[in-house]
Structure 1
Amino acid sequence: MPSSVLTAGPRPSPPGLPAGGPRVTLWLLRFVAFVHAGLVVGQPVLAGIYLSGRFDALATHSLNAGLVMLACMCQFGAALVYFLPGRGRGWPLLVTALLFFGEGIQTAMGYAGQLAVHVPLGVAVVTAQVVFVVWLFRAGARRPRRTLRRQPKAGERA
């Protein structure tokens, strides 16, 4: 086995990037996404309570839907801070925007009583948010995004 594999430490950051990648902004995104995930996971629990005969749980399910949307907006803000000043990856912004769109459709389908769309979309939203939170606690979330370096033109010095 090559000795470089055994002694490899953290990769040095390119000039202009923070030394270890996003730190504070990542923890902010983790916290907000974790709260959002808790609210999202609570939705099927509240629906199950309603379906078991406690009809007042439908009002709580509806209230929680509004909180889920609010938490998703906060998650978008945290993902934006993670991306711009935190120099983190950009795809969490896209994932959060898609989740917000899906949650909006989810809420509309619930109020319209369209359970054929409401239930499977709910499964997709819960799964996507939980997988997103798991990724946030993995090492890849700590790595700064790669910057594109301009290639020198013919005759230019690098």
Structure 2
Amino acid sequence: MAIVGQPVFAGVYLTGDFDSLRRHAVGADVVTSIGYLQAIVAIIVWVRLRQAWPFLATMAVVEAETVQYFAGLDGALWLHIPLGVMTVAALVVQFIAVWRRPLQRSTRAQGEGLDA
């Protein structure tokens, strides 16, 4: 959960450690890249397990991350900071949802003989 480090880097930057802004920028690249990889995995889950909700939830988070990324580049902190808080919260909730109830093949997919 690389996204959890982002508020830390931003907070350290706001206390006067200006090198943390570079760490925050690198972290943004890492988090965004992981989000796009997660979208690919969510597509595979959708196709293989016939579960659409992980894809839909992932795309909502990836869209928020992308908007937040560009808001940060533009210095629009009025959008960047609250969207960052919401994105971290959404990813934590998504992680807990998958952890507590692992994804399983839907009964419809099992009935169609898609046990690949």
Question: How many correspondences in the alignment?
Answer: 110
Q: Residues 35-50 of structure 1: matches in 2 within 5 Å?
A: 38-50=1-13
Runs of 4+, deviation exceeding 3 Å: none
Give the partner amino acid of 2:69: T
Gaps of 5+ in 2: 112-116
Task: Please report the TM-score for the alignment, with normalisation by the length of structure 1.
Answer: 0.65
Q: Residues 75-154 of structure 1: matches in 2 within 5 Å?
A: 75-85=38-48, 87-139=49-101, 141-147=102-108
Deviations 1:66-93 (A, max 9, x none): 11111011111111222212x1521110
Task: Please report the TM-score for the alignment, with normalisation by the length of structure 2.
Answer: 0.86
CA-based RMSD of the aligned residues comes to 1.7
Gaps of 5+ in 1: 1-37, 150-158
| More contact order relative to length (CA 8 Å, sep ≥ 6) | 1
1:88–1:142 CA contact under 8 A, matched in 2: no
Structure with greater proportional helix content: 2
Among the aligned pairs, what percent are the same residue? 34
Could you tell me which residue of structure 2 aligns to residue 14 of structure 1?
Answer: none
1:76–1:96 CA contact under 8 A, matched in 2: yes
Could you tell me which residue of structure 1 aligns to residue 19 of structure 2?
Answer: 56
